[in-house]
Each structure stands twice: as structure tokens, then as C-alpha cells.
Amino acid sequence: MNRNSKVLALKYRPQTFNDLIGQEVVAETITNSIKANKVPNAYLFAGIRGIGKTTTARIVAKALNCLKGIENLCKDDLCENCEAITNSNHIDVLEMDAASKTGIDDVRDLIEFSRYGPTLAKFKIFIIDEVHMLSKQAFNGLLKTLEEPPEYLKFIFATTEIKKIPITVVSRCQRFDLSRIKSLELFEFIKKIKDKENGNVSDDALKLIVRISEGSVRDALSLLDRGLLSLDKNKELDLKAAQKIFGYFDKSQLIDLFQLILKGEETNVINIYRKIYDQGIEPKFFINDFLEILYYFKNINSLSVDSTYFSLNDEEFLKIKEISNQVDSEILILFWQFTIKSLEELDIVSNPHLSIEMFLIRLIHLSSKKNKSNLIIENKDINEKLEINHTEIKSKTQIINQIKNAIQEDQNKPEIKTEIKVEQKNTINSFDQLLKICVQKKEIKLKYELENNVNLVSFANNRIEISFNENLNKDFVKDLSSKLFEWTNERWIISFSKSKGEISIKENKKNKKEELLEQVKDSEIYKSVLDKFPDAELLDIKFNKEDE
């Protein structure tokens, strides 16, 4: 195949250790071991896709078999062995894809083939890609050969999921974890490739490619190849064109969206999201990008533009920093938890687009609710002029009836009105009152647990001591404590006792019913019924509500 007709990822595939980027430690270690003639029986390369695992395996194969030796490893003028390995047709270097050959029979053929020495090269080498796909029996079949292979035989494994490989196999290999390529290093690399291809691509577009590729060289080259082919040679691939081609939207839209959420502008929030959706952005990608923006809002003061891996430009970085100083950390953490939870909904709702819109609306209401508690500082000037007695709000002993009016600097500005509503405190002095308020608040599940699975030991002074049976819900204490605080605005202590305590309400009702059944059976009316209907049997008694 003509080299110029190859895709960029193959055309610029590294041929020597010096060509590898981001894996200097791995290259140096392997080179030193070959020079010292301390070559392990097997290499294991682990890492994400597209960072050079299979490429490194081929370079190792060439380094072991190059006719010029490791010191003068072929780069341009390839020797016979290096050229054959590069073209994947060397008789002594077998490349196998474990995804298509997973069984014990395939491994047996491999072991059988390993009994014969190399034909042309110094070493016979087996390169097994995606080795984690081998079956358990196949791994077991490899163990003995892997531990004590012939001197001429070497194994090189590559995997993206190291945890799926049995530890017995990993321990017999020299393991190398290939790292993601650093953003700046990857940017410089694809910029050189762009220049070699005479591509007209802006630096911002290249940074977007680096951001999307997430440290994968192959992904970055594939995206660059796609970008160069998408536009005419006379036209530059700028940031906007790249975003459109790769289906990636501008982070500044998310920053604007976040700002509008804090301001409670529901209509504008939905309009911006629909514009983003119309660009072809999947809801799950939107949620992940939203999480990324939340992270930057929370940690912006400990970051720099470079540490964001080109995810933000200078203008976006400064804008986030400015807004973050007006937002309380608590609401950012709440937003994060709420967004993570919303990810689960996307797999349930048939139209995830609608789920995202409702997610944004809920964030607006959550933000609005926190605003009333003075968690978000939306307007610094106004907050300085509003004096709120937090002690009175917390104690709930009286309703705040007066707030200082803001000085009206501009007559056209609307008057600011602040309302603080304090819910009336509920009093709970007994177990029966607790059950009644459960009914009032429609907490049926909590009422069921209290009646069926709880034995009361004591109830006094915001402290409830209970024993329980094995059917009690594991979240009962957490739910009950939360509701009691919500209803009474006071902290309650729920403790478990070794004492049996009173029988549960359910058991009490059952005992009363059995007693009443016996009383009715002893009555004259029941006996007279039996005289006339000998086969009659009293099965149950129903209580009137007043009797209950």
C-alpha cells in the first residue's frame, strides 16, 4: 500500500523507541534490559486505547531481532527482519488477536508451534493483543510455557483491561503500565503531523482534538485526519468548524447556562440547552460536560489554565473564576450529587432529551430554594444592605417581620422584596403522636415500619429507644431522624436497646383480636347461632374506626 494513502494513525506509527511519545520510562527500561541481555520471558503492556501498546510490542520484537542490533535499530533503511515485522508478515513473529481466538484449542496450537525454534530471527515472538479476552482454560494452558519457555521464545501481551487477567499470569510477566499522553505533548505531536500534511488547522482546533482524544494518540490522529478531509484545502479548520465536525459544543455555552440557572431564568436555560441539543450533542455527553464544568466551578482557585488540559481557554477560565466567587460551595456539591443521580434516569426515560430539560428545571428550583437560605450570593450590594437575624430564624421563636429596605439608587429599578417564611413547629410527645403525624404527612412507609417492625422501649425528651425484628428496613433510622428534624426542627436520638420493649402495634392488634374472638365464642349469641348452624365457624372480627 502506498504510504501516502494510509490513514494518519498508520502512516505516522512509531518505528523505534525514539519515536514513541509519552512513554520514555518504558522505552528506557526495555532498551536497558535488552542491552544487559536480561530479557524477560514475557512482557505485559496495559493502558487505555491508542497509546502505543501494540506499537511498543512490535518495536520490542524488532529490537530483539534487528540484524543491526539494539544500538543501531533500523528506522529508515530497514533490515530484512525489521521490514517483515513492520509489515506483519515475519515467519517468527506471530501476532494474534485474543478477541477472535479465545479458546484452549488456539493456545494449544500456539504451544505446539512454540516447540520449533526460529527460522530467520534470533527469537520467536508471540504478540497477543487484547489478551484479557482469553478464556480461563486458555490462560491455564499458557501458565507452564509462560513460566519456563525455551530460550528462543518470548511472549508480548497487550491489554486495555488488566484486572481481567488472572494474577497468576500477571506475576509471570514484566508489566508496564503505559500512561495517557499529556495534553501539551500530544498537542505538539499532532501540530507537527499537521505541518507535515500541509494542513490548514488553527491551534484552537488542535486543542479541541487533544481534549476529545483524552490522551489517546490514535484518537487524536483519527480526528485530525477527519478534520483535514472535511474541509477544502484553501479553508482553515478553525474552532467553530471543528466543533461542528466533531459534534462538540463550546464550553462557554455551558458557563452561560450555569449562570442562568443560578439566576433562575428558566426560559433562557431551556433555550440554550435546545440550541446545544440541535448541534447533535447526546444527553449523556451533555451531563458529563456539565459535571466537568461543576468541577471547575468548585476547584477553579486551585487550578491554572494549563491544568485544565485545554478544556478551557483564558476567557472561559476567568469567567468561571469570577462567577465561582459568588457561589457557595454547598450548592455546587448539591448540584454535583444531583447531576450524578440524573445520569441514572437517562437509561430509564425513553426520551433522554426531556429528562435533561426536567433536570435543568429542577436545578433552577434547587438554586432558588438555596437562595432563600442565603447560600448563593447573587448580588453583593443587595446582600450588604439586607440584615437577616439568623438566630431568630433558627430558633423559630418569632417570625421576622422587618427587613431593611435596599437604598434605591436607580428609580427605574424595581423594589426588592424579601419574604421569609417559617413553618410552624410540630410537637411530638408520644409514640401515638408520631404515628398520627406520619399519617398527616403521608409517610406511609415509615408508619408501616413503626407499626410492624418496631418495639418501643422508651419515648421521652427527643429520644426514642427501640428494639426491632429482622424485617426492619436498613434505612429506617436515617429516614426517621431526617423526618423528625424536618417536622420538629429539633435533633432526635434514635437508639437500639437489648430490652424487648413493648410488643409492636401489629402484634398488639393481633392479640386483641384473638381475645375478642374468644369472648365472642363464649357469648350466648354465638352459641345460639351454632345450635341452628352447626357447621358455622367464626373466622374474623372487623373493628370500627372508633374501636381501633
Assess whether pLDDT exceeds 70 at residue 370.
Answer: no
219 has a pLDDT exceeding 50: yes
Q: Give residue 371's pLDDT band: very low, low, confident or very high (50, 70, 90).
A: low
Summarised one tens digit per residue, pLDDT across range 308-319 is 766 777 778 888
Q: What is the mean pLDDT of residues 362-367?
A: 86
- The interaxial angle of helices 239-246 and 203-213, nearest 10 deg, is 30
532 or 454, greater pLDDT: 454
Q: Report whether pLDDT(26) > 70.
A: yes
Residue intervals of the chain classified under CATH 1.20.272.10 are 256-372
Which CA distances in Å does 233 have to 113, 391, 431?
51, 69, 80
CATH code for 3-177? Answer: 3.40.50.300
Q: Determine the pLDDT at residue 424.
A: 57
Is residue 140 helix, strand or coil?
helix
Selection from 181, 194, 423 nearest residue 309 by Cα:
181
Instruction: Kindly report, residue by residue over 114-137, the tens digit of the pLDDT.
Output: 888 898 899 999 999 999 999 999
Residue type, 110: L
What's the rounded Cα separation, in Å, for the pair 39 and 257?
Answer: 56
The overall longest dimension of the chain from CA atoms, in Å, is: 116
Supply angle C-alpha 242, 244, 245, rounded to 5.
65
Going by their DSSP bridges, the two strands 463-468 and 454-460 should be labelled as antiparallel
Pick the CATH number of 183-246 from 1.10.8.60, 2.60.40.420, 2.40.30.10, 3.30.930.10: 1.10.8.60
Between CA 51 and CA 44 the distance in angstroms is 14
Mean pLDDT value across residues 172-191: 92
Q: DSSP per residue over 147-200, as a string? A: HS--TTEEEEEEES-GGGS-HHHHTTSEEEEPPPPPHHHHHHHHHHHHHHTT--
Task: Give the chain's mean pLDDT.
Answer: 81
Higher pLDDT, 462 or 356: 356
Burial group, residue 504, by CB count within 10 angstroms (0-12, 13-18, 19+)? buried
Domain boundaries for CATH 1.10.8.60 within the chain: 183-246
Positive or negative, the Cα torsion across 55, 57, 63, 66? negative
Rounded to the nearest 10 degrees, the angle between the axes of helix 104-114 and helix 136-147 is 20
The band of 369, judged by pLDDT with boundaries at 50, 70 and 90, is low
pTM of the model as a whole: 0.60
Residue ranges matching CATH 3.40.50.300 in the chain: 3-177
Domain 256-372 classified CATH 3.40.50.261? Answer: no
Percent of the chain with pLDDT over 70: 86
Backbone angles phi, psi at 106, to 5 degrees: -65, -40
* Segment 409-444, tens digit of pLDDT: 444 444 444 444 444 567 888 888 888 888 888 888
Q: Is the pLDDT of residue 396 over 90?
A: no
